[in-house]
Structure 1
């Protein structure tokens, strides 16, 4: 079970034109926004990444405005774990479980999830908050990650797992994000 005291969120490369080209892009951005808002309600640290932003562009405005508390971590490799600043931020958080959302599921999300697992983190890919240019590549990523031991969750599933109890002060704000 996810524990709000021990969980963080990683937002992977929801940037530029690519964010508008992935399968179900509008829904993806809305769901990622809800996940980010939910993480904030729960007090989870949020780490966000941008892949080669000079070429791909910045994080889409709908998410950028929610993430403005700290700057994005720029990366060039597909596996964010190869970026020392990313690893440093993950370690400083002292969280052992990480939710992952973003694009593309079969490239950067996939490689970062496996990199985190190799570094002994508990990784949960939020399946309805990831996408690729084709549905087939997203399905392949989810299937392969699951087969390799990465937990697959969904937006509602992970937020309610983190809330734990309808008497929690976070319950109503989370409920409003899901409706």
Structure 2
């Protein structure tokens, strides 16, 4: 199980035009925003990634508006684990569990998740908060992640898992986000 005190969130490349043409993009963006808002309410640290922002554009405004006070980590590698700035921030977090969401499921999300797993992190991918340009590529990415030991979860499932109990002080706030 994911533990609030051991968890870091990795948001992968929700950028520019690509975010608008991704499979079920509107639902994806809504789910990512709900996830971010819930994780921020629970004080889960966020590592925010952008793939080649000069070429692909910045994170979509809808999502970036929920990341105030944070700065994205620019990368050129598909796996964030091959990026020195990301690895420094990840190690500095002191966390051993990673929750991953973003695009594209079969490229950057897959490679980052698989490499985090190889590095010994407990990794869960938020299946309803990842996508690719095609449904087939999303499904292939999720399947390959499963094959390397990355567990799938959902926005609602991960938020409730992190809260652990209805007595959590953020229960009502997060319950409103889910509805």
Q: Give the Å deviation of 1:110.
A: 0.3
Which residue does 1:72 correspond to in 2?
72
Structure 1 stretches of 4+ moved >3 Å: none
Q: Give the Å deviation of 1:70.
A: 1.9
SS in 1 for 2:32: helix
Q: Give the Å deviation of 1:67.
A: 1.2
1:51-87 deviation line (CA, Å, top 9, x unaligned): 0001000000011111121210000010010000000
1:74-117 deviation line (CA, Å, top 9, x unaligned): 00010010000000000101111111000000000000001111
Which residue does 1:39 correspond to in 2?
39
2-structure distance, mates of 1:79, 1:173: 33
SS in 2 for 1:149: coil
Which residue does 1:114 correspond to in 2?
114
1:96 matched to 2:85? The reply is no
Which residue does 2:172 correspond to in 1?
172
2-structure distance, mates of 1:62, 1:121: 29
2-structure distance, mates of 1:68, 1:112: 24
1:107-154 deviation line (CA, Å, top 9, x unaligned): 000000011111111110000000000000001111111111111111
Segments of 5+ residues of structure 1 without an aligned counterpart are none
* Cα root mean square deviation, aligned: 0.6
Which residue does 1:133 correspond to in 2?
133
Q: TM-score, normalised to structure 1's length? A: 0.98
Aligned residues: 179
1-structure distance, mates of 2:97, 2:12: 16
Q: Give the Å deviation of 1:11.
A: 0.5
SS in 1 for 2:152: strand
